[in-house]
Amino acid sequence: MSLAELAGCLEERFGERSKHDVPLGRLTTYRIGGPAALYLEPGTRSDLEAVARCLQSAGEGVPVITLGRGSNLVISDKGWPGLVLRLAPRAFSFTRPGDGPDSLVAGAATPLPVVANWTTRRGLSGLEFMIAIPGSIGGAVRMNAGAHGSETSDTLATATVLDLSSGELTERKAPELELSYRHSNLTEQEVVLDATFELVPQTENEVRARLESFRKHRGETQPPAVQNAGSTFKNPAGDHAGRLVEAAGLKGFRVGGVEVSRLHANFFVSDETATAQDVYDLVHEVARRVKEDFGIELEPEVKFAGEFEDRSHT
Ligand SMILES: Cc1cc2nc3c(=O)[nH]c(=O)nc-3n(C[C@H](O)[C@H](O)[C@H](O)COP(=O)(O)OP(=O)(O)OC[C@H]3O[C@@H](n4cnc5c(N)ncnc54)[C@H](O)[C@@H]3O)c2cc1C
């Protein structure tokens, strides 16, 4: 069971669409990190079912990750040692009315601001918080993305999920996903294909006013969506990670090419010299200092993918 066997199976099914050594940095908001050993953009459900069959027969033990818009991910400088799947936007980026009068079905590759604008134009409330989050619907379901007091779980009704370990396609009701603060029970083997939301009808003006106020607030309080992955740490109960990082005197604190934003202390912003290891080291050093100063353990919200060196004990 090896990477080579998996590559062979994928090549047989997908020909040149199955790629090797594809740089991933450009597919993430941090713009850093190495290549994917194997890379494929599935364009249909049956493509994904074929990937599942290859994984079952040839790739057991090969790590798989689904990449959305890469806005919550730090990919290792060494890259990803297995298969990266990125749902082809032409097939998986769409918005359409659902069965109910106030419902929306969105493909997993749909950018969140597209969804916020679609619902706003129809006077449907619940997803306007997505206007300034540079992720996709698949990433938002997996992470239970949220902002301004709302989160994905508030309006999510169902998600269509393909389990790569069995090839099984299921429609999961939102409670089955055990969504909580920036968490779901989805594993790396489970790919979200689309999601259905039940929204609240209001006037377009009401929804738009909220959307615009969220957009304005973002522009004033956070760095733009490049060279960072949004909030680095989850907020601990009853507090804000950014407040703690700032109170520890770490605004502007830097490791290599990455620094704690001076605008918002929970955003860590990279420059063109940054490595993924720099992000990893900064995250661990900031967490260590906050623990030392306040006794509070900060948990990263950003996900590290691939191999990193733990230098905290050296
Ligand atoms: C400037 C900025 C602001 C941000 N603000 C917020 C905010 O206010 N609130 C918030 O919650 N987040 C915020 N984020 C973080 C991020 O945008 C969200 O977590 C978003 O939901 C991630 O979506 P993505 O498509 O980029 O996922 P990725 O970063 O590509 O992946 C994140 C995780 O989701 C998984 N995943 C992606 N697609 C799928 C799929 N189709 N099926 C199954 N799993 C999948 C990945 O495997 C990975 O585990 C911000 C990020 C930035 C850069």
pLDDT in tens, the chain (314 residues): 589 999 999 999 999 999 999 999 999 999 999 999 999 999 999 999 999 999 998 877 899 999 999 999 999 999 999 999 999 999 999 999 999 999 999 999 999 999 999 999 999 999 999 999 999 999 999 999 999 999 999 999 999 999 999 999 999 999 999 999 999 999 999 999 999 999 999 999 999 999 999 999 998 888 877 799 999 999 999 999 999 999 999 999 999 999 999 999 999 999 999 999 999 999 999 999 999 999 999 999 999 999 999 987 55
135 lines ligand 1 (CB under 6 A): yes
What domains are defined for the chain? 3-86 (3.30.43.10), 92-220 (3.30.465.10), 223-305 (3.90.78.10)
pLDDT of the residue at 313: 58
Report yes or no: 125 and 200 within 8 Å, Cβ to Cβ.
Answer: yes
Neighbours of 96 (CB within 10 A): 11
Q: 0.95 exceeded by the pTM? A: yes
pLDDT of the residue at 312: 72
CA of 1 to the centre of ligand 1 (A): 31
33 lines ligand 1 (CB under 6 A): no
231 catalytic per annotation: yes
176 catalytic per annotation: no
pLDDT of the residue at 89: 96
Query: Of the residues 231, 259, 261, 270, which is catalytic?
Result: 231
Instruction: Pick from 30, 129, 133, 222 the residue to mutate for probing ligand 1's pocket: most ligand atoms within 8 Å of its CB.
Output: 133
**In a 10 Å sphere around its CB, with 0-12 CB exposed, 13-18 middle and 19+ buried, how is residue 226 labelled?**
exposed
**255-289: string of b/e by CB count within 10 Å (b at 16+)?**
bebbbbbeebbbbbbbeeebbbbbbbbbbbebbeb
Instruction: List C-alpha distances in Å: 68 to 84, 93, 126, 140, 223.
Output: 10, 11, 22, 9, 21
In this structure, which residue's CA is closest to atom 8 in ligand 1? 147
Cα–Cα nearest to 232, from 298, 313, 312: 298
pLDDT of the residue at 1: 55
> What are 230's two structure tokens?
């949004």
Query: Of the residues 128, 198, 259, 301, which is catalytic?
Result: 301
pLDDT of the residue at 41: 98
Residue that the structure tokens 């057991």 belong to:
60
In this structure, which residue's CA is closest to atom 40 in ligand 1? 138
303 lines ligand 1 (CB under 6 A): yes
Are β-strands 156-163 and 80-85 bridged in parallel, bridged antiparallel, or unpaired? Answer: unpaired
Instruction: List C-alpha distances in Å: 288 to 271, 275, 307.
Output: 23, 20, 20
13 catalytic per annotation: no
142 lines ligand 1 (CB under 6 A): yes
143 lines ligand 1 (CB under 6 A): yes
